[in-house]
A = this chain, B = another copy of it.
Amino acid sequence: MPRKIEVLIVGTGAVGSFYSGKLAQAGARVSALCRSDFDIVKERGITVKSINGDFHFKPAEVVNNIADYQAEPDYIIVATKALPEINTADIISEKVCSNTSIVMLQNGINIEDEVYNRFPENEVISGIAFICATRTAPALIEHIDYGRLIIGKYPRGSSENAEKLANLFLISGINCKVDDNIIMSRWKKLLWNAPFNPISVLGGGIDTKTIIESESSLKLVRDIMEEVIAIAEKSGYSISSENIQKMIDETIRMTPYKTSMLNDFENRRPMEVEAILGNTIRLAENYDLHVPCLKSIYALLSLVNEQNQKRYRNSI
């Protein structure tokens, strides 16, 4: 019997819990590094209420400090939120072994470089999750809709390790594609995230339907998308502007959806303002691109994020 594939998941939020549970179902030995939910995950494991069937997942090891982890991981899957205050490279460095692939399963753009530059001998795999799932309580995840994955070697190219990981996901029933040009997919996801996530918060806590029904806010969605396309173009990723209408049409057909950023806001959790907007704007500045709509919502969302965190700190 061949040795089991060894996976360490970093972060047991909705995304980390769901996908690592699936890998365990497919036969990998999956362990979890978690902080706030450590005690309960260690004691009870993680329960996932899923539209495709509920399941329970007990990690092989549960640690709150990576030094306690006993194995040599084939994959470290980073599924924490992409926040400036989380230094992923520091967190994982002790267990990045020669054969370890680091999978960055996070939102936003340019979220791989910190790890990519720190571990030049290791393969970095970038991953994008298309899923509606929420951690409704510690160690309890609700999977509401979707679930497919796209992964690929960072910054581009083919990868046996990505293929192997995709195979595991496929065995578990997850639609996982390997993409040799993964950052193109990341830009396309950003094309949706950059307008809809911030507007859902700044517009007063609204779902996708409400955003699209207002003429001036639909115009803002389009303008932001145009700016994202211009930055992607300069970065070497050419996205046709036909994608804008296509994405809006898809959003019209979607069940009205509350974005993950709005969920974070309402639960007083930090929002991924930098990963989604800050990094994007910094690229625009490198290219001397004028992106007034992105800058407007970035300035406002940064204020809201700060106020929201301040109120949270004051309430605990």
Contact = CB atoms under 8 A, between A and B. Distances in A.
B204 A304 contact: yes
Nearest to A211: B303
A214 B296 CA distance: 13
Contacts of A204: 303-304, 306-308
Interface string A175-217: 0000000000000000000000001001111100011001011
Interface in A279-316: 292-293, 295-300, 302-304, 306-308
A72 interface: no
B205 A299 contact: no
* Total copies of the chain: 2
Interface residues of A, number: 28
A302 B205 contact: no
Nearest to A204: B307
A269 interface: no
Which of A295, A303, A308 has the largest number of chain B CB atoms within 10 A? A303
Interface of A: 199, 202-206, 210-211, 214, 216-217, 219-220, 223, 292-293, 295-300, 302-304, 306-308
Given A202-B303, A216-B302, 16 more contacts: A199-B303, A202-B300, A203-B300, A204-B303, A204-B304, A205-B307, A206-B307, A210-B307, A214-B299, A214-B302, A214-B303, A217-B299, A219-B299, A292-B293, A292-B296, A293-B293
